[in-house]
Amino acid sequence: MTAAPPLLEVRDLRVTFTTPRGTVRAVDSLGFTVEAGRTLGIVGESGSGKSVTSLAVMGLHRAGAEVTGSVSLAGRELTGLSEKELSAVRGRRMAMIFQDPLSSLHPYYTVGEQIAEHFRVHFRAGRAAARKRAVDMLGEVGIPEPARRAGEYPHQFSGGMRQRAMIAMALACEPDLLIADEPTTALDVTVQAQILELIARLQQERGLGVVMITHDLGVVARVAHEVLVMYGGRAAEQASADALFAEPAHPYTRGLLDSLPRLDTPDDAPLPSIPGSPPSLLAPAPGCAFAPRCPRAAARCTEERPLFVPYGDGGPRHDVACHFAGARTPEEAVR
Amino acid sequence: MTGTDTTDERPLLSVRDLTMTFPGRRALTGRRGAPVRAVDGISFDLAAGRTLGLVGESGCGKSTTGRMLVRLLQPTSGSVTFDGKDISRLSQGALRPLRKNIQMVFQDPHSSLNPRQTVARIISDPLLVQGWSAADARRRAADLMELTGLIPEHIDRYPHEFSGGQAQRIGIARSLATNPRLVVADEPVSALDVSVQAQIVNLMERLRAELGLAYVFIAHDLSVVKRVSDRVAVMYLGRIVEIGDKKSLYEDPQHPYTRALLSAVPLPDPAAERRRERIVLLGDPPSPAAPPPGCTFHPRCSKAQDICRTERPLLRIAASREVACHFPGD
């Protein structure tokens, strides 16, 4: 007997853009899985490839991007599907929400019409049924007076309400997988707390698999079961959220965590910081992308790219791409 | 009683009843909407060499306050006293000699630097305005690049040749050109990558110590504000709802809004996140064009009583700081 395939399985994903200034490998050799009812947090800074990854999984990457590797949803391979076949999966079995809901909502149609339209396309439902579905969904995501608000236009909604409406639209067709790309970055912190709570509740009720893409390690710590840290288009480290935050093994992960100003720690000593800036993908170095900023870097790091391999004593999955995974510099050891 | 500092000496900056009212937006019908009171009578003091953090969510008036402090905006009423002199009503001409003492750092380093000017020009511009010679200004610009961790040899480059973090260093270097005593920094790190934020925070802290600067540090990120501030003012809908020493404010917040705000900030620690009790506020911050009566926070407050719906609470002492709440603490 074979185990059921994971909800989402991505293997050896590569996304390459050809630009006037050269070829950009935005994502390279990336693999991960997401199980139903679980949340994978993908963390990275600008240029890390986290958003390109989510678009490639959805088949929404820009024309001209070359995508290779495998993306399978509940065992069904999605790469190589025609646009028509993909449309039937996208929005129906997997859905996505973005940072800026206003740019994903059409300003000329009411919020209710947009959710209903989405439902009609996938379920061939009648107008009345679709309209009822839209109102129900708005109520479910916590919008007060959903029947009245369904008749309003996006500009009449606040930022938090718009993101709720986007979630309502994303979930109207009961997808199995929700990809959320920086869904709370544009929101105030008290509204962010509401939206994260909403996603967690809906996940529990529906057994949704969630991919949460963010630059905010606090958001990841709050919602993710598993965490994948990306740097320069590649996986740097992946582990359970508990292991990653308690025992970060990649110098980048450790550097990021150390450099965060935090509410729950004293702030008398200077903040440890990572020198330099995230790398350009136009001219990737032959070795480890983090080597120029790494306190631990040796000659080997600039010559040989580290493989993404298991780390530790073979407990739960913890993979790291570093020649010196887990090793600390003397300065780090004293902290 | 106003947000006075505990030091005896005369404050460097003293703000009293500062108010900014913007005219309502004109609708298609030609009728104006209600005026918006973006900042509604705030007061605080800042001593030389100290940092006041100004936190709050979008629309709370923190950026408008910053712009009034540097007189990019003329306050509707109230006073801004810098080093003993009220600058809130001065003409642009009378302001010019004072401008060198008060400078500003902006959120988006790239959009606040002129893309067609070299770094030399950007940093030395404030000096040329103050009457420096071109050669002296250029030398000073190179020194400031060194001071802010840039490579002085890059002085003839353009802003697009720099990363976000480096561009913010240029913005900081420009703000320091005239040797100011006060720098108003409006979200100086929020557009930067996480790994770069700490560099800029450290740079600003070092410069404060070395140059004896005072900062008004405006930010929505409570963790960053905690890091850099001596005192913190929490704003909600144009008013200060709590102001006091950083340590006591963060460890024992008295205003229900401060509590909710702090509990909403996610901690980068999954175990702590699971243990934490969270106060999730209902709804969104109301529009400053139609503020609720009484305490403007009452529609979202779990402790609200009748008096909160009718009577505006004034700042008064509670637990060694000032809180605008009828029922501070628990």
- Tokens 């947009």 locate to A114
* Average pLDDT, integer, range A44-59: 91
- In chain B, residues with a C-beta closer than 8 Å to the C-beta of A45 are 193-195
SS3 (DSSP) at B138: helix
Subunit contact B266:A222, Cβ cutoff 8 A: yes
Give the phi and the psi of residue B116 in degrees, each rounded to 5.
Answer: -95, 5
Least CB–CB distance from B57: residue in A190, A246, A264: A190
Q: Could you give the domains of chain A?
A: 1-93+176-263+317-335 (3.40.50.300), 104-174 (no CATH)
Q: Is A222 at the interface with chain B, CB within 8 A?
A: yes
What burial class does residue B244 get, using C-beta atoms within 10 Å of its C-beta: 0-12 exposed, 13-18 middle, 19+ buried? Answer: buried
H-helix or E-strand containing A323?
Answer: none
| pLDDT higher than threshold 70 for residue B5 | no
Domain ranges of chain B: 106-179
Subunit contact A242:B271, Cβ cutoff 8 A: yes
pLDDT digits (tens, 9 = 90+) for A75-113: 999 998 998 999 889 989 999 998 887 788 899 999 999
pLDDT band at residue B1, thresholds of 50, 70 and 90? very low
Q: Are the CB atoms for A39 and A225 separated by under 8 Å?
A: yes
Subunit contact B268:A274, Cβ cutoff 8 A: no
Give B26's DSSP letter. B
Count the Cβ atoms, other than its own, within 10 Å of residue A144. 11
pLDDT band at residue B301, thresholds of 50, 70 and 90? very high
Query: For chain A, how big is the Rg over CA atoms in Å?
Result: 21
Subunit contact B280:A260, Cβ cutoff 8 A: no
- In chain A, residues with a C-beta closer than 8 Å to the C-beta of B250 are 263
pLDDT digits (tens, 9 = 90+) for B183-195: 999 999 998 988 8
DSSP string, A71-90: EEETTEE-TT--HHHHHHHB
- In chain A, residues with a C-beta closer than 8 Å to the C-beta of B57 are 188-191
Which residue intervals of A71-188 are DSSP H helices?
83-89, 101-104, 111-123, 127-140, 146-149, 159-171
Question: Cα separation of A242 and A238, whole Å?
Answer: 11
Subunit contact B270:A270, Cβ cutoff 8 A: no
The set of long-range contacts for B170-173, using a CB threshold of 8 Å and a minimum separation of 24, is B170/B109, B170/B113, B170/B119, B170/B122, B170/B123, B170/B145, B171/B105, B171/B106, B171/B109, B171/B112, B171/B113, B172/B105, B172/B148, B172/B200, B172/B203, B172/B204, B172/B207, B173/B123, B173/B141, B173/B144, B173/B145, B173/B147, B173/B148
| pLDDT higher than threshold 90 for residue B222 | yes
**Cα–Cα separations (whole angstroms), residue B321 to A245, B2, B249:** 35, 10, 8
Least CB–CB distance from A221: residue in B202, B266, B284: B266
* Per-residue pLDDT, A266: 83
What burial class does residue A307 get, using C-beta atoms within 10 Å of its C-beta: 0-12 exposed, 13-18 middle, 19+ buried? Answer: exposed
Beta bridge partners of B234: B55, B242
SS3 (DSSP) at B20: strand
Q: Which of A160, A116, A107, A163 is nearest to A136 (CA)?
A: A116
Q: Are the CB atoms for B199 and B206 separated by under 8 Å?
A: no
Averaged confidence pLDDT in chain B: 92
Q: Which of A4, A1, A8 is nearest to A208 (CA)?
A: A8
Strands (E), A218-315: 226-231, 234-240, 309-310
* Per-residue pLDDT, A303: 94
- In chain A, residues with a C-beta closer than 8 Å to the C-beta of B261 are 189-190
Q: What is the ipTM for the molecules in this complex?
A: 0.87
Q: Which amino acid is at B156?
A: D
Give B298's DSSP letter. G
* Per-residue pLDDT, A2: 61
| pLDDT higher than threshold 60 for residue B273 | yes
SS3 (DSSP) at B110: coil
Q: Is A245 at the interface with chain B, CB within 8 A?
A: yes
Annotate A178-211 with b (16+ C-beta within 10 A) or e (fewer): bbbbbbbebbbbbbbbbbbebbeebbeeeebbbb
**What is the chain B residue with the closest CA to A259?**
B198
- Tokens 């990809």 locate to A179
* Average pLDDT, integer, range B30-48: 90
Question: Cα separation of A187 and A199, whole Å?
Answer: 15
Q: Is B220 at the interface with chain A, CB within 8 A?
A: yes
3-state secondary structure A37-74: CCEEEEECCCCCCHHHHHHHHHCCCCCCCEEEEEEEEC
Lowest mean pLDDT among A6-15, A17-26, A216-225, B129-138: A17-26
Subunit contact A218:B202, Cβ cutoff 8 A: no
Least CB–CB distance from B284: residue in A160, A216, A277: A160
- In chain A, residues with a C-beta closer than 8 Å to the C-beta of B267 are 218, 221-222, 262-264
**What is the chain A residue with the closest CA to B196?**
A277
Annotate B251-270 with b (16+ C-beta within 10 A) or e (fewer): eebbbbbbbbbbbbbbbbbb
| pLDDT higher than threshold 80 for residue B6 | no
Question: Cα separation of A223 and A241, whole Å?
Answer: 9
* Per-residue pLDDT, A331: 65
**What is the chain B residue with the closest CA to A186?**
B58
Q: Are the CB atoms for A290 and A252 separated by under 8 Å?
A: yes
Q: Which of A234, A233, A281 is nearest to A23 (CA)?
A: A281
Give A292's DSSP letter. G
- In chain A, residues with a C-beta closer than 8 Å to the C-beta of B262 are 263
Interface test with A, best of B162, B195, B236, B287 (most A CBs within 10 A): B195
Subunit contact B194:A217, Cβ cutoff 8 A: yes
Q: Are the CB atoms for A90 and A175 separated by under 8 Å?
A: no
Question: Cα separation of B95 and B92, whole Å?
Answer: 5
What burial class does residue B116 get, using C-beta atoms within 10 Å of its C-beta: 0-12 exposed, 13-18 middle, 19+ buried? Answer: exposed
| pLDDT higher than threshold 50 for residue A74 | yes
Lowest mean pLDDT among A208-217, B25-34, B97-106: B25-34
Q: Is B278 at the interface with chain A, CB within 8 A?
A: yes
Subunit contact B281:A216, Cβ cutoff 8 A: no
pLDDT band at residue A269, thresholds of 50, 70 and 90? confident
Residues 6+ apart with CB under 8 A from B195: A45, A252, A255, A256, A259, A273, A274, A277, A278, A293
Q: Are the CB atoms for B166 and B84 separated by under 8 Å?
A: no
| pLDDT higher than threshold 80 for residue A218 | yes
Q: Are the CB atoms for B43 and B87 separated by under 8 Å?
A: no
- In chain B, residues with a C-beta closer than 8 Å to the C-beta of A46 are 164, 193
pLDDT band at residue B330, thresholds of 50, 70 and 90? confident
Q: Are the CB atoms for A219 and A212 separated by under 8 Å?
A: yes
Q: Edge to edge, what strands does the sheet with B85-86 contain?
A: B36-46, B13-22, B77-82, B85-86
Window 38-97 of B, Cβ < 8 Å to A:
57-58
DSSP string, B60-79: SSHHHHHHHHTTSS--SEEE
pLDDT digits (tens, 9 = 90+) for A61-73: 888 889 999 999 9
Subunit contact A217:B195, Cβ cutoff 8 A: no
Least CB–CB distance from B226: residue in A257, A263, A278: A263
* Average pLDDT, integer, range B312-330: 89
Which pair of structure tokens corresponds to residue A44?
């990275």
* Per-residue pLDDT, A109: 94
- In chain A, residues with a C-beta closer than 8 Å to the C-beta of B205 are 270
* Per-residue pLDDT, B3: 47
Q: Is B12 at the interface with chain A, CB within 8 A?
A: no
Question: Cα separation of B222 and B19, whole Å?
Answer: 24
- In chain A, residues with a C-beta closer than 8 Å to the C-beta of B297 are none
SS3 (DSSP) at B308: helix
* Per-residue pLDDT, A330: 64
* Per-residue pLDDT, A289: 93
In this prediction the pTM is 0.90
| pLDDT higher than threshold 80 for residue B32 | no
Q: Which of B47, B41, B83 is nearest to B229 (CA)?
A: B47
pLDDT band at residue A333, thresholds of 50, 70 and 90? low
Q: Is B258 at the interface with chain A, CB within 8 A?
A: no
Interface test with A, best of B284, B287, B297 (most A CBs within 10 A): B284
**What is the chain A residue with the closest CA to B193?**
A45
* Average pLDDT, integer, range B163-192: 94
| pLDDT higher than threshold 90 for residue A304 | yes
Q: Is A103 at the interface with chain B, CB within 8 A?
A: no
- In chain B, residues with a C-beta closer than 8 Å to the C-beta of A216 are 194, 266
Query: Quick one: CA torsion of B78, B84, B87, B92, rounded to 10 degrees?
Result: 170
* Per-residue pLDDT, A237: 97
Least CB–CB distance from B284: residue in A191, A242, A271: A191
Strands (E), chain B: 13-22, 36-46, 51-55, 77-82, 85-86, 102-105, 182-186, 214-219, 231-236, 239-245, 316-318, 321-323
| pLDDT higher than threshold 50 for residue A191 | yes
Q: Are the CB atoms for B293 and B306 separated by under 8 Å?
A: no
